[in-house]
Amino acid sequence: MIALSQVTKTYPGGVTALASVTLEIARGEMAAIVGPSGSGKSTMLNTIGTLDRPTSGSVRIDGYDIAKLSDNQLSALRGTRIGFVFQQFHLAANVRALDNVADGLLYTGLGLAERRRRAKLALERVGLAHRVGHEPHELSGGERQRVAIARAVAGDPPLLLADEPTGALDSVAGAGVMDLLHDLHAAGTTVLIITHDREIAASLPRQVRMRDGRIIADSAISDGRHARSGAA
């Protein structure tokens, strides 16, 4: 699902956020990219999510070499193959949950009725069938994050990227969101969670640890699975 080979990302001013990173995530895996602030994990998310192109090296997502895709093709790849969940939910105010999710399907060109039908199914999938008509300010933090997850999975993408998905939640709501992500993984979605929380990382089947733009440890290596970092 994800294949990075000798990926480097350098920003103006000579700041290197990723340094010769090589990593493979198999289809159907659930893994954590974990590290402190400044370790490069957010740049890793942007690179894997095709939100940013690497300075050098190759990135393949679900078999697609992103270097060979135009910006429009990258947008289409994100729209159909990748779901994003962020710490701050990014829900539209004064818009009910159903339409917050349905609006995430605008890129598909589907009619409003079909987008709402799929949005309703996605909200049911995350346990919010009873909240479809509620606006964000009427929902708890955990419920808002579930709406955000429903929006991310409404188009049934094979890859879900979650950036600090519990960072804005209390421990109970955070545990509920993690249970939901585990359920999505069990249903076949490849789930990659970016986090600084070692406890969350330890609860996942695989942990990839970063520091100073490099992968310094990968539990898949000790488990004998195929994964490596050219910088480790």
Closest to 98 in 3D by CA, of 113, 84, 87: 113
- State the maximum Cα–Cα separation within the chain, in Å, rounded to a whole number: 51
- In a 10 Å sphere around its CB, with 0-12 CB exposed, 13-18 middle and 19+ buried, how is residue 144 labelled? buried
Rounded Cα gap, residues 157 and 160, in angstroms = 7
Q: How far is CA 221 from CA 29, 192, 194, 216, 218, in A?
A: 14, 17, 19, 11, 6
Alpha carbon 120 to chain centroid distance? Answer: 21
Q: Please write the tens of the pLDDT for every residue from 41-94.
A: 999 999 999 999 999 999 999 999 999 999 999 988 998 899 999 888 899 999
Query: What pLDDT is stored for residue 132 in this prediction?
Result: 96
Identify the three-state secondary structure at position 127.
coil
- Give domain limits for the chain: 27-52+69-219
Cα–Cα distance between 60 and 5 in angstroms, integer? Answer: 9
Considering only 41-45, 204-208, 228-232, which range has the smallest mean pLDDT? 228-232
Q: What is the average pLDDT across 101-128? A: 92
Q: Which residue has the tokens 């409404």?
A: 154
Residue 123 reports pLDDT greater than 70: yes
State pLDDT tens for residues 147-201: 999 999 999 999 999 999 998 899 999 999 999 999 999 999 999 999 998 899 9
Count other C-beta atoms under 10 Å from residue 129's C-beta: 11
Q: Is the pTM of this model over 0.75?
A: yes
The domain covering 27-52+69-219 belongs, at the CATH homologous superfamily level, to P-loop containing nucleotide triphosphate hydrolases (3.40.50.300)
Residue 16, exposed/middle/buried by CB under 10 A (0-12, 13-18, 19+)? middle
